[in-house]
Amino acid sequence: MNSEIDHGPRRVIALGRDLHRHGSIPPAFTYAAYLKLSSLVGIYRLGDSEHVRPAEQHPPGGRILSTVTVEEEDQKLEDATPQEIIEFAIGRFEPSKIALACSFGAEDVALVDMVSKITDEIQVFSLDTGFLFWETEETQRRLSDRYNLSFEVVHPELSIMAQAEKHGRQLYLSDPGACCNLNKVVPLEQTLAKYDAWITGIRRDQAPTRANSPNFTWDERFGLYKFNPLVRWTEDEVWDYIQANDVIYNPLHDRGYPSIGCAPCTKAVAPGEDPRSGRWAAFEKTECGLHADS
């Protein structure tokens, strides 16, 4: 296809990055494509002090927007499709500086499929705590084969044996918060330090703690931008997408596990129960700490 008239997602994204860098409209950029892109990402000049904080505050390779701008752009995305939110992210940041977090639940595999149809430059990573279900590990292998993906698999600093020696056996029972911090939060912090933005699969109706989650926000805890393309979707919409696109999914979903985490801390739930009630069921704990502020 002639690249001069190709205005598909990859072409529009590339042009968006050119607009973002130079504040100008390339000659081949048609008015229709311009309207489409500007409605998603807005046109901001790098030197515009109304939209960009001082350069010394920028993360390496990225940009910091004012709080007002982030909130405004989040509102603009309230009617956007998940794919448009992904395209917005790529128009705003270098794709290689964006990471997609994948824990191999339904939302995450849907996002892997969406992202793979838009770009192959976003890095997909997973946290391997050492306590994953074998079905989860098999889902990763199948996704790798389907999309020719090389997952960045992130491990905690200490092995399970080393953790047992230092903190005692079954830390997930004696102190589940410390276990999540050691095996998930700290490795995630170290991984996200390399990126300017990350994409997650959280949805507003997953839990009360996520009810006000935005489409796009500054993640204060981890120090980068955060995109939640599926945030307005329902569980039914996620599964409609999976079925319509023949997306590989974790077989645990068929056995009563709507929310999947580490094997020792996740159990099946009965139909009609809170989908996340199977997580840390014996404890007053609802989040592992990765999305505490969503």
Q: pLDDT at position 259, please?
A: 87
**Three-point CA angle 60, 197, 31, nearest 5°:** 100
For the question of residue 288 being annotated catalytic, the response is yes
Whether residue 159 sits in one domain with residue 230: yes
Whether residue 234 sits in one domain with residue 123: yes
| Residue 208 pLDDT class (50, 70, 90 cuts) | confident
Q: Is residue 253 part of a domain?
A: yes
Q: pLDDT at position 183, please?
A: 94
**CB-based contact 159:130 (threshold 8 Å):** yes
Rounded average pLDDT over 268-281: 69
Please state which of the ranges 208-212, 226-230, 286-290 shows the lowest mean pLDDT.
286-290
Whether residue 90 sits in one domain with residue 35: no
Q: What is the pLDDT of residues 12-71, one digit of tens each?
A: 444 444 444 444 334 333 333 433 444 444 433 223 333 333 333 444 444 556 676 899
Domain that holds residue 197: 47-265
Does residue 7 register a pLDDT over 80?
A: no
Choose, from 179, 262, 265, 288, the residue flagged as catalytic.
288
pTM, full prediction: 0.75
**What amino acid is encoded at 181 in this protein?**
N
Q: pLDDT at position 89, please?
A: 95
Q: Is residue 130 part of a domain?
A: yes
Domain CATH number, residue 100 = 3.40.50.620
| Residue 97 pLDDT class (50, 70, 90 cuts) | very high
Percent residues over pLDDT 70 in the chain: 70
Whether residue 105 sits in one domain with residue 78: yes
Q: What is the pLDDT of residues 81-93, one digit of tens each?
A: 999 999 999 999 9
| Residue 276 pLDDT class (50, 70, 90 cuts) | low
Whether residue 8 sits in one domain with residue 62: no
**CB-based contact 85:215 (threshold 8 Å):** yes
Q: 256 in the Ramachandran plot: left (φ > 0), alpha (ψ -120 to 50) or beta?
A: left
Q: What is the pLDDT of residues 170-181, one digit of tens each?
A: 898 888 889 999
Whether residue 113 sits in one domain with residue 99: yes
Q: Is residue 3 part of a domain?
A: yes
For the chain, the average pLDDT equals 79
Whether residue 115 sits in one domain with residue 22: no
| Residue 182 pLDDT class (50, 70, 90 cuts) | very high
Q: Domain count for the chain, please give it.
A: 2
Whether residue 97 sits in one domain with residue 163: yes
Please state which of the ranges 75-79, 209-213, 235-239 shows the lowest mean pLDDT.
209-213
Q: pLDDT at position 202, please?
A: 93
Task: Measure Cα distances from 131 to 100, 207, 246 in Å.
Answer: 21, 23, 28
Which residue do the tokens 């990765």 mark?
290
